[in-house]
Structure 1
Amino acid sequence: TNSTKSGPKKRSFDETGNAIVIGDGCVGETSILLKFSENYHSLSHIPTMGIDFKTKYMTVKDKIGKDTMVRLTTWDTAGQERFRTITQSFYNKAEAILLVYDCTERSTFETIENWLKSIEVHAPKESFVILVANKIDSDKREVTSEEGEEFARENGLPYFETSAKTGEQIDELFEFCTKQILWNKSGQGPVPPRPITITSDSEFQPPSRSSCFVSRAFKKLFGN
């Protein structure tokens, strides 16, 4: 009698998604991704050298409430200047871009505009950007919530505040990200931006790249 061995069963999914996490070095991109994918946090983590990625299966609801399994691949990039060219070459994979700064280091917030310019040049026009303030567990904050919210509002970006250490808002961030990728793929979004802060129970959809950077039009629309 002949017998055949089958390999490991592949996990089924309905849709795929690709996200990329960017920002200055040591703002916590890798820690955010590890907390999300493995529920792991280390204070002595070695900075990313080049590019790494994690894959996680997410069940999210589409606009009509149907559960959909999404295989989300998230690319972790090095924030150091010497790896910037490598990082930019991976922008074309991104449907979602998580732009992270460290709220305890003002200098990482001040470079956000430069990152947005790089995104505008190198990333697909259909991609969307989420602004993320990390390390909110620290009592040494240099960038206030109000400053982060105002910058996000002026640029039409959804805004999350996270802690890779405690896990605060990490799952909510990636659930929102995955849902928006799904809705964009199925033609269910995006909708015009609204000047609000994202919280775990918000259903705000980010604008597409084509409107993310039209801050003047955004101000005119909402009188800011």
Structure 2
Amino acid sequence: MLTLSKKICLLGDFAVGKTSLVRRFVYDRFDEKYLSTIGVKVSRKTVAVADPGRQVVEVAMILWDLAGGEDFNHMRTTYIRGAAGAILVCDLTRPDTLASLHTYLADLQAVSPEAVCVLAANKVDLAEQALTPEQVTAFAAGIPAPCYFTSARTGENVQEMFRELAQLLVQNQGT
């Protein structure tokens, strides 16, 4: 069985749920306490997906959870370099977090132009949604990237999003 090791960066503003998405995916846990990420935290999880020839491929996803916000801007591209993929994360209750993904995407494309992306519109479980599904899907279509409406709290669409990213990484391997 083929095993691929791929660096994945989670990108987005502070408090959008990057750490919580990783924690839900890797450990199937959610913590109500907010702890700001300082610098970068690296986790790993391996998933099995089928390649275009229907062979099973194990993808070791090396997940780089990068700090969000302007204080980290000058260091971000250093950490992104070499990424095979990225999850762009916005918070559905804060419209500015979707707009700021343009900056994160530009940083990614500057140093890892071949990286594949998915968009996580996080906190779908919260009632006070400020972004419409149309706004989010229009942004994703412009990348282009698959779009998932996720909840790290409930686990909604988290596993599916990471599995699709793994599938895209395998497909991109041959190009």
Q: TM-score, normalised by structure 2?
A: 0.94
Q: What pairs with 1:139-218 in structure 2 (closer than 5 Å)?
A: 139-187=127-175
Where does residue 5 of structure 2 map in the other structure? 16
Deviation for aligned residue 1:117: 2.4
Amino acid at match of 2:121: A
1:115 deviation in Å?
2.2
Shift in Å, 1:86: 2.3
Partners in 1 of 2:120 and 2:4 — Cα distance? Answer: 25
- Give the structure with the larger strand fraction: 2
1:81 matches 2:70: yes
Corresponding residue for residue 125 of structure 1: 113
* Residues 51 and 87, structure 1, Cα contact 8 Å, conserved in 2: no
Q: 2:122 aligns with which of 119, 128, 134?
A: 134
CA contact (8 A) 1:99 1:132 kept: yes
Counterpart residue number, 1:104 = 93
Q: Is the 8 A contact 2:124 2:150 kept in 1?
A: yes
Per-residue deviation, 1:13? 6.3
Q: 1:32 aligns with which of 18, 21, 42?
A: 21
**Cα RMSD between the aligned structures?**
1.5
Task: Note if contact 2:15-2:34 (Cα within 8 Å) is conserved in structure 1.
Answer: no
Paired residues of 1:78 and 1:84 also in contact (CA < 8 A): no
The gaps in structure 1 that reach 5 residues or longer are 1-11, 188-224
| Long gaps (5+) in structure 2 | none
Give 4+ residue runs of structure 1 displaced > 3 Å after superposition. none
Q: Which has the higher contact order (CA 8 A, sep 6+)?
A: 2
Query: What letter matches 1:180 in structure 2?
Result: L
Does the CA-based 8 Å contact 1:17-1:182 persist in structure 2?
A: no
Q: Within 5 A, what are the aligned runs for 1:64-75?
A: 64-75=53-64
CA shift for structure 1 position 66: 1.4
Name which one, 1 or 2, has greater alpha-carbon Rg: 1
Aligned to 1:30, the other structure's residue is in SS state: helix
1:116, 1:14 → 2: CA distance?
Answer: 27
Query: Shift of residue 184 of structure 1?
Result: 1.2
CA distance in 1, matches of 2:62, 2:2: 13
Q: How far did 1:113 drift?
A: 1.9
Counting matched residue pairs gives: 175
**2:123 and 2:12 mapped to 1: Cα distance?**
14
2:48 counterpart letter in structure 1: T
Change (3 A) 1:38 1:154: same
Distance 1:102 1:66 in 2: 36
